[in-house]
Every structure is written in structure tokens, then in C-alpha cells.
Structure 1
Amino acid sequence: MPRDGKTNRSGSAAILEPGELQELFAELDDPYRAIVQVCYLTAGRIGEVLALRVDHIKNGYVVFPAPNTKTGETRKVTLTEPLQKAIDRVRPSSGYLFPSTALAGHLTARAVEKHVKAAAELMGFEGVSLHSFRRSRLTHLHEQGWGLHELKRVSSHKSLQQLQQYLGVDQAVVDEKLKQADVGFEVV
């Protein structure tokens, strides 16, 4: 079951385990599946991902231009094989990576959210929002041993404090690590 989770639009976005992510991805059709996979694989915010244009994928990177990022700074993410595959499934020849079918411009976050919420409800996942993919990715990388400074580079958080609030740290894991750290320690 997802960790944390929003209730009535309040709280933190749920953190999904890797298996839960795969189940959720399988319930979505493209372009929505590709969008949330790009959100996850780049630890991108939904607005940044939806604003991507085909020419922002270049030289082995996905480039999030400064005007499209929350921090106002350009962010580059390595174009890994899974990320390349997700993009290639939907990549148009030019323009927005995720163009709107009805309007000029790109798909809206509201449209993506509608599909994600429906799939999450079908799976019985509570508290899932579009931010769950970013939060899940950063938490998974942290659990794999990535340092906070490395994660800050990936996420483009302005401070380590902001980043730390983002990560889902399991209290049971902390408790077990403390117990292991104290093995062999004698109090006299």
C-alpha cells in the first residue's frame, strides 16, 4: 500500500513502491502512461513535463528550460534507456512532446490527473496525486543510497531542508538501523 498520501487534497502525495508504480503504469494508456513515466524517471513536476517540447530532448538529456521550472533554473536529466523508451512511444515529429488533441498547446495537468486518479482508485491506491511520481522517485533513489546533495541535483530543490521534507523515510527502517548500529555496544 502506498506510503503517506493525500486526503481531500491535503497532506503529502503518496509514495508508491516500485511494484505499485508498474501496476499503475499498466492501467494507463499513452500518452498518460508516458507522461507519468517521464515524471517518475526525471523526478519532474507535472508542469515541467507537460511543457516539454521535442527539441528539449537533445544530446543525451531531457532539458527543462528555466522558464518552465519552479526554481527558474534550467535542469538537465540524463536520457536513460527507460526514459528514452517512454518518450519514443509518444514522440511527435515537432512541437510539444505531449500535445493537446483539442487545443493548441500541450495536454493539461487536469486531464492527466483525471486518468491517474481513475487508475489509482481502480488499484485501491489511496492518496495518489501527480506529485506522487516525483516524490516516489526521489525516495527510491534515497533508499538506493543516493546522498542528499546528489538528490538535490536531480530534483532541483533550493535547499536540503526542502528535499528532506520530501523523502519518505520509514520509521521501521530507522529503528532497525539504530538497533544494528548498537550491536556490540556495551554500557557499563
Structure 2
Amino acid sequence: MTELRQRMNDAMVLRGLADRTRESYIACVLGLAKHYRPPPDQLDAKAIQAYLLHLITEKKLAYASVNQAACAFRFLFGTVLGREAARFDIPMSKVPKRLPRVLARDEIVRLFAQCRTLRDRTLLETVYAAGLRLSEVCALELPDIESAPDRSCIKVRQGKGGKDRYTILSPHLLESLRLYWRTYRPRRWVFPNRAGDGPLFVQTAQRMYRAACDAAGLANTAGIHTLRHSFATHLLEAGVDLHSIQRLLGHGHISTTMRYLHLAQGRLTGTPSPLELLPLH
């Protein structure tokens, strides 16, 4: 790591930025450095804006990825290098608002049935049953599964934003986890990597999900995060209130959870049309 990137990393550590945020910001600065010959601290706002345009028009990156790069550059120039914000007025791209993909209940059943191994199925069941993020399920450790009858839950350590929380441990999932443990005998992490000396790589978990989707004939299912969206939507359809779902998901704002109102089919299909309320007959 160059001296500049080390300074940036140290500044992020001091401000308590999450590990994945630091990794993403450093990767954005590294991409900038590879694109231009001069080091990033010698670039001006015009060069930064040209690079962001390059990411959109030539790299074809999603606007969310471009926004992340813009945030990384703001942090580098504004916080690390101490340059005036007015000199680096980097516009943020407007991210198109799209509803996330949600699997129907029968699709979830088909997905689990087509998992290649018991480990694959147990991991995907855990994501869906507890509403976990990909990084959260990979980082689970055995003590995080609290199975006492009077305290049955899963502890999520240092989720998004560096926050701990508790989420559901269903009896069915607990049975699956116990069968999985008897078969594989993990020692520290619930889902360790192949060497057993660390947590499962997120790319490996994504491949498990994609392989199961392909075997089940499920198209346009995006990534494994679809199971988390399905968890929230199915709870809402079952009558669970938004604030409880917000806490289970670890959302900082209720507005983030409210988007699942648009996905709950039961609430939509069960709503009468105003035409039915008119005295037409």
C-alpha cells in the first residue's frame, strides 16, 4: 500500500468506518491511480469528474458504484488531504429506484431442494430464515447461535454500520444447523472456508446461491441478497409490523424498511379497488 493510501486507511480507521467501507474506498482510489499516471493527490476536480464519467460511459458501472467512488474521492481530498470542498464539487449520480426481486414461497422451496450439499442448503436457509446480509452469514461464529429454550436467537456481530443486533432463530433452522454441525463439525465459524482457518468467502456463498438458482430454474434472481428481501417481504405478508422487521434487519431508518410495503403481494391483492366502493348496482 502506498503512503497516500495508508494515510487514507488510517484516517478511516480513526473515524470508525467499517472494514468493507474502507476496502471499497481504497479500491476506488487504486482504480483512480491506475487510470492516471500522476498519483491521485496531484489530480484536480476536472480530472476526477472525467474519471467518474469514464466509469459511467465506458466501464458501464452502476450509478451506486459511481456514487461510492465519488464518496471515496471526497474523503480522500476533503478529509485526508484537507483541500477545500468547493474545489472538489463532485456531483452525485441519481440512483434509479427499482424494487428489489423477491422470491415466492414455492420458489424458496425449490431453491433449497436444489442445493448441491448440506452446507449449501444450511447456509441459504440461514440467510432466508434470519434475514442476514451476505457478510453477516459468512462471519457467524458458533457462540452466535443462542439455542437456549428461553433465549433462542442469532446474534449478529458488527453488522452494517458496526452495529450488533439479534434476529430470529426458528426451530426448523435450529434443527438444520444441528444436523449440519454433526456432519461438518465446524470449530469456530459456522461456515468456515475450505482451509477451516477463517470465515467462508463471500464469493463462495454467492456461487452456492447461483448454482442452486440455476438448478431450480429460477431466472433473474440477482444475488443472495434476494433471500434477505424475501425474508422481510414474507414477514410483512404474515402480519409482522414494520418496526419489528426494521429491528430484525438492522435498518437504521424505517424508510428503508418501508419499501417492502410495495412488495407484499398480500396487502396489494387484498386491497379493494375504489370502484367496488361506489353504489353502482
Counterpart for residue 5 of structure 2: none
C-alpha distance in 2, partners of 1:25/1:82? 13
Q: Secondary structure at the match of 1:113?
A: helix
Partners of 2:207 and 2:267 in 1: CA distance: 34
Q: How do 1:61-72 and structure 2 match up within 5 A?
A: 61-65=153-157, 67=158, 69-72=159-162
Which of residues 138, 142, 146 is equivalent to 2:240?
146
CA distance in 1, matches of 2:269, 2:108: 26
CA-to-aligned-CA distance 1:39-92 (integer Å, 9 cap, x gap): 001001111111011111124221111x2x013221112322112012112223
Partner of 1:117: 210
Runs of 4+ more than 3 Å apart = 8-13, 170-173, 181-187
State the 1:119 CA deviation. Answer: 2.1
- Partner Cα distance (1:90, 1:21) in 2: 19
* 1:33-48 equivalence runs, <5 A: 33-48=121-136
If the length of structure 1 is used for normalisation, what is the TM-score? 0.81
- Given the alignment, which residue of 15, 18, 22 partners 2:105? 18
- Say which of 218, 243, 252 aligns to 1:158: 252
What is the correspondence of 1:20-99 to structure 2 with a 5 Å cutoff? Answer: 20-28=107-115, 29-58=117-146, 59=148, 60-65=152-157, 67=158, 69-91=159-181, 92=185, 94-99=187-192
Percent identity of paired positions between Structure 1 and Structure 2: 23
Report how many aligned residue pairs link the two structures: 177
RMSD in angstroms over aligned alpha carbons?
A: 2.7
Instruction: Please give the TM-score of this superposition, normalised by the length of structure 2.
Output: 0.56
Q: Distance in 2 between matches of 1:172 and 1:95?
A: 41
Q: In 2, are the aligned partners of 1:138 and 1:167 still within 8 Å (CA)? A: no
Greater CA drift, 168-177 or 138-147: 168-177
Considering Cα pairs closer than 8 Å and 6+ residues apart, tell me whether 1 or 2 has the greater RCO: 1
| Cα deviation, residue 175, structure 1 | 6.2
Work out which of the two has the higher radius of gyration on C-alpha atoms and give 1 or 2: 2
Q: Which residue of 2 aligns with 1:137?
A: 231
Aligned: 1:174 with 2:262: no
Post-superposition Cα deviations, 1:137-160, rounded to whole Å, max 9, x if no partner, equal: 100011111221121121111111
User: Where do 5+ consecutive residues of structure 1 fail to align?
Assistant: 1-7
* Equivalent in the alignment of 1:5: none
In the TM superposition, residue 174 of structure 1 has moved relative to its aligned partner by 2.7
- The alpha-carbon distance between structure 1 residues 173 and 9, as it changes in their structure 2 partners (threshold 3 A), is farther
Q: CA deviation at 1:26?
A: 0.9
